[in-house]
Structure 1
């Protein structure tokens, strides 16, 4: 049995069908032109008919411009007196005994007794020089004995820890005192004020204990 003639006939038939389906394509000519966002096509058929089309392509969205991150200025910490590196001293009582915590009351007492005021601004739970000042000078019995008949003492504390926050009324008085005497926010700060309310001197931490601090006070107020 011979299959060759049948196979040849089938192949010839398939080739003819393929050429027939491709004829319209081979008989036409298409030209494509693109410019910017527009595409133009021109098709010429075998009969000479011309078909034109124009398509506008939407432009790709432009990426939003993102500003480069700008450097930020670091926060500036409160001014403190630089001292030699030592083990951090333990905090002392925020307000030593015998000290007033109301500037207006201190001014009234100073005027009545004709004594200068020593107003101290402290950060009892964060400022190392403040803690040293309290331990070495203001909490010492010898300093209290010296100041008893010579000074009106006023103390204004500004703690930071939540557990040490002051009552609202006291914080208000401390803020009012700072607004008058310590606008720069210096810690520690000791302010000497005349009985009439005039600021005579301001100083930070003074090393040397009560004797050194008393010597400083006598330079500011020779009658002490």
Structure 2
């Protein structure tokens, strides 16, 4: 009986953890659709996931924390634009990410760009809200910067 109870408890816990995971889009057109439907700006995370030390640090110190997950789920649509060196990507994904890197003038990693967008005649028009990168001080320091960009106080 104890074994059945423990297995059931484990399965419930596994589903709960899974439900708390955030959805990171890699297809920008899909993310634009979701962003417009949910009326939330997009958080574009320009990263070198398998080689950029500051990107990995930002992931571990902020983007994988419960504090960030709670904030992000209510405030932004997440988009990961990855530029790996050792991980294969489809030509379409590489091309999309390269075009976005040029369009946003990204020169270093990690860069996080907050934007809203709309699709017209098959083209996406972005409206930049602001950008940031790694911010020392953990999730609360990073979220203070992000909150100031996403919800600026009107004077």
Name the TM-score, length of structure 2 as normaliser: 0.72
Deviation at 1:102, TM superposition (A): 1.5
Structure whose residues are more often helix by fraction: 2
What RMSD in Å do the two structures reach over aligned CA positions?
A: 2.1
Alignment of structure 1 residues 1-224 onto 2, 5 Å? 97-161=22-86, 164-181=87-104, 183-194=105-116, 197-222=126-151
Deviation at 1:214, TM superposition (A): 1.3
Q: Gapped runs of 5+ residues in structure 2?
A: 1-20, 119-125
Q: Gapped runs of 5+ residues in structure 1?
A: 1-95
Name the TM-score, length of structure 1 as normaliser: 0.51
SS at match of 1:220: helix
Pair 203,137 (structure 1): closer, same or farther in 2 beyond 3 Å: same
SS at match of 1:155: strand
- The aligned length equals 126
Structure 1 segments, 4+ long, off by >4 Å, are none
Pair 184,142 (structure 1): closer, same or farther in 2 beyond 3 Å: closer
Bigger relative CO (Cα 8 Å, ≥ 6 apart) = 2
